[in-house]
Amino acid sequence: DSGVTQTPKHLITATGQRVTLRCSPRSGDLSVYWYQQSLDQGLQFLIHYYNGEERAKGNILERFSAQQFPDLHSELNLSSLELGDSALYFCASSPRDRAITEAFFGQGTRLTVV
């Protein structure tokens, strides 16, 4: 167990809908990183937050947004869902800013868009 908690574990929704994925970092970790794992694109970096502030963006679609709350948990919001958004979404956390070398990954949320 990495100590990073993601909920829900599985999510099935219809095209056009909106979902929220939640990530609770390890105790004491201030950084959260979101990654998407799809069959065609592999594992790709989406976005990084540190202590509530957005620090870096990767290949994140405009339909997707994220935030990190004062209690340090993070949410990834996916809207106007398309079939191609079906993927595993992972978050990772680390104690420091921009420190992916210290990060541990959660078990992921599997999103299926039908």
Partner 1 sequence: GENVEQHPSTLSVQEGDSAVIKCTYSDSASNYFPWYKQELGKGPQLIIDIRSNVGEKKDQRIAVTLNKTAKHFSLHITETQPEDSAVYFCAASKGDYKLSFGAGTTVTVRA
The C-alpha R_g of the chain, in whole angstroms, comes to: 13
Q: Indicate the residue among 15 and 41 with the shorter CB distance to partner 1.
A: 41
Q: Does 28 bind partner 1 (CB under 8 A)?
A: no
Q: State the CB neighbour count (10 A cutoff) for residue 54.
A: 13
- Of all residues in the chain, what percent are helix, strand and coil, respectively (each to 5)? 5, 55, 40
Output the CA torsion sign for 51, 55, 76, 90.
Answer: negative
Question: Using CB under 8 A, which of 30, 45, 75, 86 touches partner 1?
Answer: 45
Asked if 98 touches partner 1 (CB under 8 A), the answer is yes
Q: How far is the CB of 16 from partner 1 (least distance, A)?
A: 28
- In the complex, the residues that contact partner 1 under the rule CB under 8 A are 2, 4, 31, 33, 35, 42-45, 48, 55-56, 58, 90, 92, 98-101, 104-108
